[in-house]
Every structure is written in C-alpha cells, then in structure tokens.
A = this chain, B = another copy of it.
Amino acid sequence: MNQAGYSEETMTNVRAEKVREVARLATRTGRARSGEFLAEGPQSVREAMALHLHNAGHGGQPVVRALYATEECLDRYPEFEEMAAKASGVRTRLVSAEVLSAMADTVTPQGIVATCLIPETSLEAVAGLNPRLVAVLCRVQDPGNAGTILRAAAAAGADAVVFTSGSVDIYNPKAVRSTVGSIFHLPVITNADFGHTITTLKAQGCTVLAADGYGAADLDVLQDDSAARRNENQDKAMLEEPRLESPTVWLFGNEGQGLEEAEMARADHRVAVPLYGKVESLNVGTAATVCLYASARAQRRNCT
C-alpha cells in the first residue's frame, strides 16, 4: 500500500489521542478549542476539497486540515486520492472502519471524514460584496432546520447566511450534514449581533424583510407585482413596496416563537407566506425556502 499523498500506516487504534481529538469536534467546546469542524461522507468531503483547491489557486484560506478514509472508500472514490495529491497542505491518513466510526458523529460516515477549518469571515466582508440576497436566521435552534435552510439559501443563490447569537452552531455535525456540502458554497457568519447585522446591511442599501405569518404584505402579491413590473416596463415604475427584486435581507425566526417584536421592528416590511390550507403556521425551513426562492426569481427576472 503506497498511495500518493497517503502517509504512514493505517490507523487502527480507536483509543488513540488523535481519534479522540477528531471525535471531540462533535462538541461545541471541541470545535472552539481547535477551530475545526467535521465534514462527513463523500459528498461533503468532496465539496470541502474542491473549495480547498479553489482557494489554494486564488490565495484564499485553506479549508481542509486532514482527511481520514478507509481503503475501501478510496478504492470506490479514486477522486479523493487525486484531490489529496494536489492539496499539499492536507494531511491524509488511512484508517480502519472502526477508527472512522469512532471519529464520526454519524452511524454510517461512508468511509471518509475531513477535519475542516472554521472559516474566518465577517459581516463587513460580506457587506463589501454588495450582497443582493442574505438570509439572517434569528435563534433557529434545530440543527437540521439550520442546515436545510442554509442549503436552500445556497440553492437560491444567496450571498451569505447569518446566524445571530443564540442560534444553533451550524458547525455541529448534524447541521453540517443537513447542508449536504452547501456550507462550503457561501459565506456563513455565526454568533452575529442582530442590531449590528441589520445596521451594516441596511447601510449597503438592502431592504430588510421579516418573514412573519401575521405580516401585512402577502408574498404572492409581491411576486405578482414584481412580474408585472417586468412585463410592463421597468422604467414605468410601480410604486408598491417592497420590491422583491431589490437587494434583500430576509429575517427568519426561532421555530417555536418566530421573530421577536424587537427584531421585527428593525425590518422595513413584514411579509407573510400565504397559507392556502387549514394549517396554522409553516415550518421555518418551508417559509424560508418560499421566501428566498421568491426573491431569487424576482432578482433574476427583473435585474438582468
């Protein structure tokens, strides 16, 4: 066994200090101490490595610190060896299936995990990109919801996702898994101060929309207005506000309580996703998906 990029012998001792170190990335304190988080499974690790190689070629931050894989996994996915050979900064180790299980948070890590550096980014850096679509998650608690919304935001082409302080840690392994690799696709700000976030993004010209089941504005009406502006003439401005095609920050609230009154007070408008059935409310992930896609569509239709 002498694979390019793979050093030393196969790790088989599940009690080794290194194994425990990786396993500790499942805890908030473990991540805080090392500044790393865990990507599990081929798809997530592939996205991490792709970003790592991209950044290496563009003077960006390193992404992957180390890669742990079973021989069986590398036989099945030869691209990891190719990627590892190109990424000189990444330590790579062959491990037994038992060691991989001990390292991973999932029951079935599918043969590969990577330790990744929690990226250094800031709201100011995001603001400097003239963002057109940003999702701000206010105290969302469920890691699966957080990850799913991040994935939906990435699919909608959002420029960044912001988690306010009091939110679940998006670098928690369950949340990372729910992003299915999307966490490597856009800037993510964690532990953000809500007031500072809004002030900074408003200063960039963004309209702030609060997703609120009791909002006065109906998202479907806003979508129709936006389509009508495009169909008639962009210059023949219709004056209804908000305009979905404007640079937009969406606020989404906690699963149980929604947005706090103080948070909604900072928004320019409160927008409701219409409920056509007998249900009382929407899952925050469902509401976020509908809102972000509505903005994405309006921006692409009216601003190209």
- Interface residues of A, Cβ cutoff 8 Å to B: 43, 144, 148, 151-158, 178, 180-182, 185-186, 220, 223-224, 227-228, 231, 273-283, 285-286, 289-290, 293, 296-297, 300-301
Contact = CB atoms under 8 A, between A and B. Distances in A.
Given A181-B279, A227-B228, 16 more contacts: A144-B144, A148-B286, A151-B282, A151-B286, A152-B286, A153-B277, A154-B278, A155-B273, A155-B282, A155-B286, A180-B281, A185-B277, A186-B278, A220-B300, A223-B297, A289-B290
B231 A157 contact: no
A304 B301 CA distance: 25
The prevalent SS among residues of A at the interface is: helix
A151 B283 CA distance: 8
Contacts of A43: 280
A176 B133 CA distance: 34
6 contacts: A154-B278, A156-B277, A180-B280, A185-B279, A231-B231, A285-B285
B223 A155 contact: no
A293 to B, nearest CB: 5
Given A282-B155, A286-B285, A289-B289, A220 B276 contact: no
A186 B286 CA distance: 18
A152 B282 contact: yes
B283 A180 contact: yes
Contacts of A144: 144
A106 to B, nearest CB: 14
